[in-house]
Amino acid sequence: MLHSNSIIGLAAMSKAALMALIVLSISGCQLDTSTPKDPSIMADLPQPPTPEQRDHVVKAPGGDRVDPWYWLRDDERQDQAMLDYLEAENEYKEAALAHVSELRQTLFEELKGRIKEDDSTVPYFDRGHWYYTRYESGLEYPIFARKPDHLDADEEIVLDVNVQAQGHAFYSVGDMDISLDGRHLVWLEDTVGRRQYEIVFKDLDSGEVSSTGISGVSSVVYSADPRYVFYVANHPETLRSWQVWRLDTEASKDDPNRQVLVYQEDDEAFYTGIDRTTSDAFVAIFVSSTVSSEMQILRADDPTGEFTVFYPRRRDHEYDADHLGDRWIIRTNDNAPNFKIMSAPLDEHANKAAWTEVIAHDPDRFIHGFDAFDSFLAVSERSNGLRALRILDWDTGESSLMSFDEPAYAAYLGTNVDQSATTLRYVYTSMTTPTQTWEIDIPTGTRRLLKQVEVPGGFDAADYRTERTWAEASDGTAIPVSLLYHRDTALDGSAPLYQYGYGSYGASMDPTFSTSRLSLVDRGFVYAIAHIRGGQEMGRAWYEQGRLLNKKNTFTDFIAVTDHLVETGRVDPDRVFAMGGSAGGLLVGAVVNMAPEKYRGVIAHVPFVDVVTTMLDESIPLTTNEFDEWGNPKDETYYDYMLSYSPYDNVVAQDYPAMLVTSGLWDSQVQYWEPTKWVAKLRATKTDDNVLLLHTNMEAGHGGASGRFRRLEQTAMEYAFVLDQAGEHADE
């Protein structure tokens, strides 16, 4: 398993810490449990925008389709009529939410008030420095810092993102790396939100920052020689990461050998990345599709050498590997759908006959990854839907699963960069336990809590309850559900429900802690995570049962979870809310077509809803890599199946719930026109008077606003919308 070195690990920690630090206060406000408001109260609003319809035919081998709102697509984001429409929708949204403006502000202050503004991550030691990330009161962005040798030394600022973000409405740091001599920093920055990063360098001795002008980049890493940096460039049209370049940082910009192309991935189903092994001995190119992967390796101290294939790619074979001493540790799904762990001699990686088994395949246990140490192996695995850790002793070959007490939780590998260590760092969290960083001494089994994310404002885990329940899908499959609610909330059918799901790409939604959801839970909501098929919560088969021609299981599973929570008398059937984002937006978009009567409100963040048209257009970013996820609509079988559930294509004249849809103008993953067209079609077709709102962030992309406080504004808007629809009429 590839691991990043210190500063990449630091960046990853900062993102995790940032999510953990988005916290909010426990409100004493009680939810008004009166009958939900009559939609007619929206009658005094101005008329919503109604974009014109223009003739357009989307041609396909499976049949032509008319799309009168296709004109809203503008790849350059410059069409004035389109921009005017988005602005009109934003204005209408504000008018529709004007009566909850005070509630929005109250919620924002709650969310912000639960952030410990001057917090920092747990330092870790790597190549002579202690690295950590910290935040200062009132500032939006993290500060990456380090101290030489010991924690009492003077602090060195590696990168103050607040300084770099000055003058930018949007700013995001992507990949980062520090040279092995500790003197140079390279990072990727995005000032638009489209995730087409530019390479920037910093001399850590002098503090000098220099831009390269090289943009459209997705990842970057130093070789052992700080003169050479490898980076991955994206295709200019499809934005697919496809080329690996070697950059000579000492060459002049007009030197033709300054940048050398060392690899190009021509298969449009594959994406490309680059990193170093945990040992820092190798630079590795890795390419992956939905069902296959391949690595190429190069000695880090031979940057001008040739990359060699670790093991040749084969369809339906996924693997990754990390270097440990005189061998490779390999995670592979070769004849092992849930993956197994193998070992290979250093120079025998391409000879599968030389691979030996370390941990066998288990149909009841899915292996996510590992950290390899000299004396032990730490494995991240999942069984019964829960993420846990297994420790294997190299000397004895025996392994044991670490135990935890709560019914629903998640335990992850932490930042482990020293392969000679006899301790393991890991992260533990649950829906009632703020993120904890632990260290376990492997020889003795002694565990030590290094840090628990502090939740200001009097948070007490004892005020909350979490449980695991199981819903029965339409085909009899048991679907795990994680619940969170306040101890004073009676599960007697009176509580409103906020249900979240994703169910795509094999991504598992774990029952982790979130302070933002407390704003709903403290007001009497039951919060549910539906672990539906399409993820890998129950192993690889769980994913296979929720993709391609099995995709509808994802949607019916979600509906089955709703039915289960209603029919068991836990929640109020008249106040059920569904939320999903991106592919989860596709989920709720399909669900709202299939069973609109079951939901009071739906929130769809950057939703992938125009499935067929997008998958027919290979010029759109992500399309070619997605054929193994959704199917290729040029094949009539897949075309017909995708068309049968595509949310945009299945809007019909029926009553829909109240809906809030969000989008980002510069989104490179789900183009802004998908949610925009969907809202336009819903407006022209639906038969109800329920409010339908479109919020487009004109300065951001898929991830929304940058900055730890600014992004809370959208959460406050969403929760105000939900609380209003649930019956919280009065401003606070």
Q: Are strands 447-452 and 399-401 parallel, antiparallel or unpaired?
A: unpaired
Q: Which of 510, 702, 706, 724 is catalytic?
A: 702
Element (H, E) at 543: helix 540-544
Identify the residue whose tokens are 């099995």: 550
Bridge partners for 183 per DSSP: none
Q: For residue 582, indicate whether it is catalytic.
A: yes
Q: For residue 702, indicate whether it is catalytic.
A: yes
- Strand ranges (DSSP E) for 333-477? 340-345, 356-359, 366-372, 376-383, 386-393, 399-401, 410-413, 423-429, 436-441, 447-452, 464-472
221: buried, middle or exposed (CB in 10 Å: 19+, 13-18, 0-12)?
buried
Rounded distance, CA 82 to CA 89, Å? 11
Q: Which of 514, 667, 668, 724 is catalytic?
A: 667
Rounded distance, CA 539 to CA 532, Å? 12
Q: Decide if 685 contacts 53 (C-beta within 8 A).
A: no
For residue 126, which of 173, 174, 178 has the smallest C-alpha distance?
Answer: 178
For residue 572, which of 562, 580, 587 has the smallest C-alpha distance?
Answer: 562
CA distances from 65 to 44, 448, 620 (A): 36, 61, 19
Rounded distance, CA 251 to CA 178, Å? 19
Identify the residue whose tokens are 């000299």: 374
Q: Which of 14, 504, 582, 663 is catalytic?
A: 582
Element (H, E) at 35: none
Number of CB atoms found within 10 A of residue 265's CB: 21
DSSP state of 302: -
How big is the CA angle at 692 (ends 691 and 697), to the nearest 5 degrees?
130
451 three-class SS: strand
Which active-site residues does the annotation give? 582, 667, 702
